Amino acid sequence: MDLPTELLRTFVAVNDHGGFTRAAKVVHLTQSAVSMQMRRLEEIVGTNLFTRQGRSVALTSQGETLARHARQILKLQDEALSALVQPEVEGTVRLGIPDDYVGFLPPVFKRFSTTHPKVRVEVICRPTSDLHELMRGEELDLALVTANCGNPVTFGTVVRMEPVIWITSASKAVEKEDPVPLAMFTDQCYLHEAAIQMLEKMGRSCRVAYSSPSMAGLMAAVQSGLAVALVTRPNLPEGARILGPGDGFPVMPPVALEIHRRSGAAAEVLAQCFMEVLKEKD
């Protein structure tokens, strides 16, 4: 009995995206084609792989087992293909990334350079909304962005759910001020709007006292004891305090990080390196 890799790739996409509709966009198939592929996969393995939960689907215990093995099979296949195409791939990959995610780059570049040493990676650090515009103008081959920010021209693949935390200076109780001074990105997105609404529902008034397109600008306001900022956990600076419900700040939902890419062998492999590294991180 053989397990066709195209069925396994679709199966993993359904699992990662929670349904056939979003998976169809990722694997570039129609929803009906995805459904047919999953029925075929269930016929091959002789068991049900999915249970429906409203409009989404979840894996059965057998599906969970297959998912673990499917990821290993696809990883080995991708590594084999990368090794084979390595001698032929040269040139430049233009990567866009907000500066608050650059901490992910070292292990990604290390993995990518082992299979594509002749490829030059050009890194452009800009806010998510700017990166979507650069993708629109075909000035980028690949972008790691925050989901639901900006106006994407390409469909993204979710690679990681990142925890979001409120932080402030350890030396000053600026969170007790009324209204609370906030430091936020100038690239406003749904998360910032939701944060302000949640604060107001808790009876906390607030004002945007500092704004910056870069993480360094927000950190300057926080470390100076002038504002409270909302950041992803990897950006927690040394000496900062995390604020929670006991301090009058709501628990925030995590944000999704997405990979957006255009066609191209090197860009595809770099995207795969991102997905592998980010899924391996705790």
Q: What is the CATH number of the domain that holds 39?
A: 1.10.10.10
Both 150 and 171 in one domain: the answer is no
Both 102 and 119 in one domain: the answer is yes
Domain count along the chain: 3
Both 131 and 145 in one domain: the answer is yes
Model pLDDT, residue 168: 93
pLDDT tens digits in sequence order for the chain, 282 residues long: 688 888 999 999 888 888 888 888 878 888 888 999 999 999 999 999 998 877 778 899 999 999 999 988 988 887 777 666 555 557 788 999 998 898 888 988 888 887 778 888 999 999 888 999 999 898 998 999 988 887 887 778 888 888 999 999 988 889 999 999 999 887 666 778 888 888 888 888 999 999 888 888 888 999 889 999 998 888 888 878 999 999 999 998 888 889 898 877 677 778 888 887 777 665
Domain boundary among 63, 84, 105: 84
Phi, psi of 83 (to 5 degrees): -65, -35
Model pLDDT, residue 67: 92
Strand ranges across the sheet with 119-125 = 119-125, 91-97, 142-146, 255-261, 157-162
Both 76 and 28 in one domain: the answer is yes
- CATH number, domain of 153, equals 3.40.190.10
Helix 20-27 / helix 31-45 crossing angle, nearest 10 deg? 100
Model pLDDT, residue 64: 92
Both 173 and 239 in one domain: the answer is yes
Both 100 and 125 in one domain: the answer is yes
Domain that holds residue 218: 164-253
Domain boundary among 43, 69, 84: 84
Both 146 and 9 in one domain: the answer is no
Model pLDDT, residue 147: 85
pLDDT tens readout for residues 240-281: 899 999 999 999 888 888 989 887 767 777 888 888 777 766
pTM of the model: 0.63
Model pLDDT, residue 31: 87
Both 271 and 204 in one domain: the answer is no
Both 146 and 266 in one domain: the answer is yes
Both 168 and 241 in one domain: the answer is yes
Write out the two tokens for 268. Answer: 């595809």
Residues facing residue 94 across a β-bridge: 122
Task: Report the alpha-carbon distance of residue 97 to residue 215 in Å, rounded.
Answer: 12
pLDDT tens readout for residues 144-171: 998 888 788 777 888 888 899 999 998 8
Both 247 and 173 in one domain: the answer is yes
Both 223 and 242 in one domain: the answer is yes
